[in-house]
Amino acid sequence: MVKPPSEAVRLDPHRWLFRQALLATAAFLVPVFAVLYFLTIPAGPWLAVLIVQVVASLLFAYAARSFRRVAVWVSRDGIAERGFFGRLVYLPVTDIGSLVLVHTYHGGGADSLPQLFVCSPAGKQVIRLRGQFWSLENMRLVGSTLGVQITELGETVSARELLEQYPGLLYWFERRPALAVVLFAVAVVAGGVLLYVGLAWLGVTTTT
């Protein structure tokens, strides 16, 4: 079983992200379900609304638990990351090829965010710290703790420029955005079909 390196420093993502997500979810779900119950309780499929609410609540609870478990551990021996879905990746310092710190444009504007890539000797990303979730101070702490020099690009680059210069740093869906869009569309259609079948099974149908 993969474990974090011994005597490691634990780094956590920005905690304000969780509070922001909690508020945004509540602001969306509370009025939506309030309206749905108002429309369906008198003489409608309120049971279906209740089931959807329970499922949505369980999904949010799972997401909240998963986010709070996300962390990076770093020591002189190596670095480990536990991602959102609980998978723990460990890379000993002897297997680290390079640390690359890049500032990329964010949101289609002039704002930029740092990203730290922990790469294998072949230049392929193994662990990635995004500026949306991790502070620049934590990224530099990774390099100083590991004792590995960080290669920092001097200029802010776009996603396209990063793909052209360092294709091994990006995930497959960032390298093949068209394929990612197609797969996402297929997933949305499949989810819609499953939702329709589920509602039909519960006896909730539309009439004209």
Residue in this structure with the two tokens 């210069």, named with its chain if needed:
165
Check the CA dihedral 178-183-184-190 and report its sign: positive
Average pLDDT for 154-179: 69
69 φψ region: left (φ > 0), alpha (ψ -120 to 50), beta (else): alpha
pTM higher than 0.95, yes or no? no
Q: Cα(123)–Cα(60) distance, rounded to whole angstroms?
A: 36
> Across the chain, how many H-helices and E-strands are there?
6, 8
User: In the predicted model, is pLDDT for residue 150 greater than 70?
Assistant: yes
Per-residue confidence band for 199, with pLDDT thresholds at 50, 70 and 90: low
Q: Cα(44)–Cα(67) distance, rounded to whole angstroms?
A: 36
Structure confidence at residue 208 (pLDDT): 41
Residues in the chain: 208
User: In the predicted model, is pLDDT for residue 99 greater than 90?
Assistant: yes
